[in-house]
């Protein structure tokens, strides 16, 4: 079984340019998370989906970040325009059901974004 | 509110020595606690978790952790370090059972 697949693995863009990250969760996992991990820090939650509904986007900077999960499967996270401070690793995770105590998360390998 | 503090951003041990990575949490309700490991350029992998029941939990790769409510701690240990244990370790807490909050991480170095 394939794990959580993210692409691209690396992305370098100039500031003010747009960028998008893609995540394909494990088949059947209805809960999907996007986290941002700054250098030397732990992951920080950006948004959580249950199926196609964003049930917690309180930490998503909505002025420049957007996300979607059409049909409740794949998800895309977009930044427009990117700023230097957006340089980080963007991690996608998925779980079967929303109860982390039961299911835990499975993480993808992440997309490392560098804004220059 | 829920938060995690990992004491020591870097820990260095000799191969075969005890590994002790410290984690303290803050939670307004009984928490669920987790330890994850991250190898370079990879995602996070679950080592172990505490939900309910026995306070000493065993995980993969010989790691274990003990939930101590009175100390609000969930320290990770391994009796004998192996070179392959060198990685970044993250403690995480969940109070709402919907998502997790992670600590800043501890980088473990294992010396030959």
Per mean pLDDT, which range of A81-90, B25-34, B67-76 is the poorest? Answer: B25-34
For the segment A75-93, the average pLDDT, to the nearest whole number, is 97
pLDDT per residue as tens digits for the range A44-67: 999 999 999 999 999 999 999 999
Using the Cβ of B60 and the Cβ atoms of chain A, whether some distance falls under 8 Å is answered with: no
Strand A111-115 to A10-13 pairing: parallel
Better pLDDT: B28 or A4: A4
Residues 24-43 of B with CB under 8 A from A: 32, 34, 36, 41-43
CB-CB neighbors (< 8 A) of B46 in chain A: 104-105
The owner of tokens 């992998």 is: B45
Among candidate residues B105, B44, B18, B11, the one with its CA nearest the CA of residue A42: B105
CB-CB neighbors (< 8 A) of B98 in chain A: 48, 55-56, 98-100
Looking at residue A97, what is its pLDDT?
80
For the segment A88-96, the average pLDDT, to the nearest whole number, is 94
Give the residue on B whose Cα is nearest the Cα of A41: B104
Cβ of B44 and A91 within 8 Å? yes
Looking at residue B4, what is its pLDDT?
94
Looking at residue A90, what is its pLDDT?
97
One-character DSSP codes across chain A: ----EEE-SEEEE-TT--EEEEEE--TT--EEEEEEE-TTS--EEEEEEETTEEEE-TTS-TTTEEEE-GGGS-EEEEESS--GGG-EEEEEEEESSS-HHHH--EE---EEEEE-
Partner-chain residue, chosen from B9, B42, B102, that has the shortest CB–CB distance to A43: B102
Burial class (CB in 10 A: 0-12, 13-18, 19+), B88: buried
């Amino acid at each position: 079984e394939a794990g959580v697949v993210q692409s691209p693995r690396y992305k370098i863009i100039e500031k003010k340019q747009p960028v998008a990250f893609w995540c394909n969760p494990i088949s059947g996992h209805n809960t999907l998370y996007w986290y941002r991990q700054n250098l030397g820090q732990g992951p920080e939650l950006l948004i959580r989906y249950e199926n196609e509904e964003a049930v917690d986007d309180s930490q998503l900077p909505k002025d420049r970040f957007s996300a979607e999960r059409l049909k409740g499967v794949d998800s895309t996270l977009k930044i427009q325009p990117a700023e230097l401070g957006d340089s980080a690793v963007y991690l996608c995770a998925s779980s079967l059901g929303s109860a982390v105590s039961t299911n835990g998360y499975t993480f993808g390998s992440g997309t490392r974004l560098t804004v220059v | 509110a829920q938060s995690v503090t990992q004491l020591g951003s870097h820990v260095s041990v000799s191969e075969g020595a005890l590994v002790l990575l410290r984690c303290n949490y803050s939670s307004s309700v009984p928490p669920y606690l987790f330890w994850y490991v991250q190898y370079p350029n990879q995602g996070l992998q679950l080592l172990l978790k505490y939900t309910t029941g026995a306070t000493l939990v065993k995980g993969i790769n010989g790691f274990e952790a003990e939930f101590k409510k009175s100390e609000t701690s969930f320290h990770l240990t391994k009796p004998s370090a192996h070179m392959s244990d060198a990685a970044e370790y993250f403690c995480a807490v969940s109070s709402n059972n919907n998502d997790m909050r992670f600590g800043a991480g501890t980088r473990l170095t294992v010396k030959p």
